[in-house]
Amino acid sequence: MIPIHSVTMAKPQKLSDQYPHQEIDLINSHEHRPDKPEEACGVFGIYAPEEDVAKMTYFGLYALQHRGQESAGIATFEDAKVHLHKDMGLVSQVFNESILARLPGNLAIGHTRYSTTGSSRKDNAQPAVVETRLGSLALAHNGNLVNTVQLRSELVRNQVSLITTTDSEMIALAIAQAINAGADWVEGASSAFHRCQGAFSLVIGTPVGVMGARDPNGIRPLVIGTLPGLPVRYVLASETCGLDIIGAEYLRDVEPGELVWITESGLASYHWSQKPARKLCIFEMIYFARPDSIMHNESLYTYRMRLGRQIAAESAVDADIVFGVPDSGIPAAIGFSQASGIPYAEGLIKNRYVGRTFIQPTQSMRESGIRMKLNPLKDVLVGKRVIIVDDSIVRGTTSRKLVKALREAGASEVHMRISSPPVTHPCFYGIDTDSQDQLIAATKSVSEIAEQLGVDTLAYLSWEGMLEATQEDTSSFCSACFTGDYPVAIPEQVKRSKLMLETVVV
């Protein structure tokens, strides 16, 4: 029997049950979903017998909160005993000092979730814990499998019982199946990974150590850090910001198709896939990962500034000021200002203390344009020709209302610049995007989108400019949401659920 420490939290209101991803924001208050792609998850793992591993995992997840806000969980291993606590809510809501004190151990893994496969409910929160002949296994997953139906059928045929509806539990059960057939921890994990297709960055806790692994394309990120002191202790996190918060030093990335095994003996590396082909999600660099996280030996803030300079070179326009949509559009807006010579200003103020709310605004508030999250600075905008920079447009609902608010605040012209190409295809690898018919750029040309948003001009960054700004091998990124060129084949039954259109207007 696995000891589980849990605290009963207040039951969510009915609206949050109906619309688990809803956030009442800005001028998008009556929409059921935020008008941005949503990340899948953040993962964290640590082997450090000398440390309070539960508390360090808490802070690691706290730094990774932007990657998922639906649920959070931590599993710690105290020799053969696993302690688990997970629940719906933000990291700071799910855990407190007394709960963390009931999670002792030498190693820990943690997870913060935004659902892509499996609904938003407590049963589907991670880590997923299963039993094996070698002891308990706890798994946290960032990404999304595309062969879930096939893998589930295989497990059911082998009389494996599934508790949740997540692909993550299926990975854990596949590992357990291999271990129960005689494999050791590393062999069992490697065997299971060969049964998985799609995107997976994993941290896995066992009684003797922590594993970290990525799919052969490395679609989702996973990094390794070291704690100061001797012996050297290791940390795994989705991003380097999860290392920084606990004072860990970035060592390197887990490579595509690699499994790292962290035990008392240190860190060992195994290349479970002999055909790695790096395809990091480009949206991690554009939007998802925190701007202070490091990728390719530089902060993403620096890369996003280059995107802004690139779009300024591609689509110059006369204006008085340029500003970004807080927070994700700000680095590109600064880069645009630097390249164009147009002064950078703050045209929108973000309320950084507003959390999620499931209270519906009144009809009169909706009609007047509720400003819960962003508010225009009227004296900055009045009479000005403005350029507003954002990282992406998905459906256009928020952008349209934002433009309306800027005009009502007195802007004489509104020019919009997007620091990524048009999003024309849904993602199947762990980003929650709409079906294709809901993506505005899949059904309308740029000029038609500009008319719908009510801007004077609209320009997107070119696909070539986006990739060249990485200053890396341009073939080493997944940009399927812009091109429809999926690096991992999508089964027809999965594809039909989101790809509604045969042609795309560009």
> Pick the residue with more confidence: 123 or 418?
418
Across 59-63, 148-152, 369-373, least confident range: 369-373
Closest CA to 439 of 369, 506, 366: 506
**Same domain, residue pair 116 and 262:** yes
Question: Residue 62: helix, strand or coil by DSSP?
Answer: helix
**Same domain, residue pair 223 and 318:** no
In-domain check, residue 130: yes
> How many folded domains does the chain comprise?
2
Q: Considering 247, 279, 311, which residue would you say is the last residue of a domain?
A: 279
pTM across the whole model:
0.88
**Same domain, residue pair 215 and 317:** no
In-domain check, residue 389: yes
281 is an annotated ligand-binding site residue: yes
In-domain check, residue 291: no
**Same domain, residue pair 250 and 375:** no
**Same domain, residue pair 173 and 224:** yes
Does residue 41 carry a catalytic annotation? yes
390 is an annotated ligand-binding site residue: yes
Q: Let me know: does 257 contact 216? Beta carbons within 8 Å.
A: yes
Instruction: Identify the CATH number of the domain in which residue 448 sits.
Output: 3.40.50.2020
- Residue range 477-488, pLDDT digits in tens: 999 999 999 999
241 is an annotated ligand-binding site residue: no
**Same domain, residue pair 309 and 274:** no
Q: Considering 246, 279, 312, which residue would you say is the last residue of a domain?
A: 279
Q: Which of 291-300, 368-377, 492-501 has the highest mean pLDDT?
A: 291-300
**Same domain, residue pair 222 and 339:** no
Structure confidence at residue 182 (pLDDT) = 97
Mean pLDDT for the stretch of residues 458-474: 97
In-domain check, residue 500: no
**Same domain, residue pair 82 and 127:** yes
485 is an annotated ligand-binding site residue: no
**Same domain, residue pair 175 and 319:** no
Task: Indicate left, alpha or beta for 477 from its phi (over 0: left) and psi (-120 to 50: alpha).
Answer: beta
Structure confidence at residue 22 (pLDDT) = 32
Task: Indicate left, alpha or beta for 418 from its phi (over 0: left) and psi (-120 to 50: alpha).
Answer: beta
**Same domain, residue pair 99 and 221:** yes
**Same domain, residue pair 401 and 444:** yes
Domain hosting residue 408, numbered range: 302-351+366-472
CA distances from 50 to 47, 54, 58, 149, 333 (A): 9, 12, 16, 42, 44
Instruction: Identify the CATH number of the domain in which residue 197 sits.
Output: 3.60.20.10
List CB contacts of 350: < 8 A, sequence separation 6 or more.
326, 327, 373, 374
- Angle in degrees, 0-180, between the axes of helices 167-180 and 148-157, rounded to the nearest 10: 40
In-domain check, residue 258: yes
215 is an annotated ligand-binding site residue: no
328 is an annotated ligand-binding site residue: yes
In-domain check, residue 30: no
Which of 24, 27, 41, 455 is flagged as catalytic? 41
Confidence band of 21 (pLDDT split at 50, 70, 90): very low
**Same domain, residue pair 180 and 313:** no
Length of the chain (residues): 506
In-domain check, residue 170: yes
Instruction: Report how far residue 292's alpha carbon sits from residue 331's, in angstroms, rounded to the nearest whole number.
Output: 11
Structure confidence at residue 495 (pLDDT) = 78
- Residue range 60-98, pLDDT digits in tens: 999 999 999 899 999 999 999 999 999 999 999 999 999
Retrieve residue 350's tokens. Answer: 């973000």
In-domain check, residue 132: yes
